[in-house]
């Protein structure tokens, strides 16, 4: 089936909570450890890239002052 106009499709990113991101990070690290030696380098690199992305996202979430959603806008 094709999507209609204004219909939510699979092209939107999945929104995850920080807890879900931490869980996914643990799973990816475990998957990387369990990967057999014969696995392709492309697969290893893809997992490492996703781990780095998740760690960067979690680092920005845990920074103090990151909870402000308005950025540099002055308060009225």
Which residues have C-beta within 8 Å of that of residue 44, sequence separation ≥ 6?
Answer: 32, 35
Interval 12-17 mean pLDDT: 80
27 within domain boundaries? yes
Residue 35: strand, helix, or coil = coil
Per-residue model confidence as pLDDT tens digits over 39-51: 999 999 999 999 9
Residue 69: its pLDDT value, please?
55
Q: Determine the Cα angle at 48 with ends 42 and 53, to 5°.
A: 125
Domain of residue 22 covers 18-60
In the chain, the percentage of residues whose pLDDT exceeds 70 is 67
Residue 59 has pLDDT above 60, yes or no: yes
Q: Domain count of the chain?
A: 1
46 within domain boundaries? yes
In the chain, the percentage of residues whose pLDDT exceeds 90 is 54
36 within domain boundaries? yes
1 within domain boundaries? no
65 within domain boundaries? no
- The pTM of the full predicted model, rounded to 2 decimals, is 0.66
């Amino acid at each position: 089936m094709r999507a209609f106009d204004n219909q939510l499709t699979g092209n939107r990113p999945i929104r995850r909570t920080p807890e879900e991101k931490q869980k996914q990070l643990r799973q990816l690290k475990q998957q990387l450890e369990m990967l057999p030696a014969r696995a392709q380098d492309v697969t290893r690199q893809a997992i490492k890239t996703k781990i780095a992305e998740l760690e960067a996202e979690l680092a920005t979430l845990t920074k103090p002052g990151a909870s402000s959603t308005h950025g540099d806008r002055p308060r009225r």
